[in-house]
Copies of this chain bind each other. A is one copy, B any other.
Amino acid sequence: MTGKRQQAREKNRLTLIEAVLDSVAEKGISETSVSEIIQRAGLSRGMIHLHFGGKDNLLNEAVKHSSEEYYQGLYALLNAAGDTGQERIEMIVRGDLSEEVLNRRNVSIWYAFRGEARNRAAIAAYSDTRDAKLRNMVHDAFSRIAQEAGAAEAADIARDATHGTLAMLEGMWTDYLLHPDIFDREESVRVVFRFLSALFPKHFGVNGAIANGRSKRVDG
């Protein structure tokens, strides 16, 4: 049984991490100082050194925490999804663009850390694992779809579809970062599926993901 002692300890640890994420989201990394953090956390100055050994380690733990939260949300959605490739792709795309995942706080945090990734090995590592996990989920789904389509170059197609879809989602996040006030979730989803329905008409066409995305091919 965990005593009051250890309970309080872990609670404070988490409070510090949340304070970092709040500060990074609101003020950016460069203004996230020790003073700022402990003020938000309502704890004393020494806690950072006590629990994390220093500010840098605390930042790294905050990145880790944020990354894990992202995946909890996405995995939860995937578990609720069906087994077909198109169902899983649709769930991932809609999930990645949903309010729960794509919101001001998450986007601010994620891009703030990305900007520092080049200079912080620990941040780059978590940025990588996050991307790798998502990539595998998407690639699995497209592999099924491409195989069902029976194209000779199914493997190539699945690889490119994965690459392009993830890149597009990444770009949608950037849209949100730069214009959170005018960002249109439904439009973003529709754009992704317009491209996918052109590439896989059988899977993402009329009866597919989007209501008014009938167009498979535009010309030709």
Contacts and interface: CB of A to CB of B under 8 A. Distances in A.
Contacts of A202: 219-220
Interface range for A: 35 or more
Interface in A112-127: 112-119, 124, 127
B169 A119 contact: no
B190 A160 contact: yes
B117 A114 contact: no
A161 B194 CA distance: 8
A177 B217 contact: no
Nearest to A120: B28
Nearest to A167: B171
A188 B172 CA distance: 18
A167 B172 contact: yes
A164 B193 CA distance: 10
Most buried by B among A118, A172, A175: A118
Nearest to A32: B30
A178 B29 contact: no
A83 B187 CA distance: 29
15 contacts: A28-B118, A111-B115, A111-B118, A112-B118, A114-B114, A114-B115, A157-B194, A160-B191, A164-B168, A164-B191, A195-B195, A198-B198, A199-B218, A200-B218, A201-B220
Interface of A: 27-31, 108, 111-119, 124, 127-128, 131, 145-146, 148-151, 153, 157, 160-161, 163-164, 166-172, 174-175, 177-178, 187-188, 190-192, 194-195, 198-203, 205, 215-220
Q: Which 6 A-B pairs have the closest CB atoms?
A: A115-B115, A167-B171, A149-B219, A170-B171, A201-B220, A198-B198
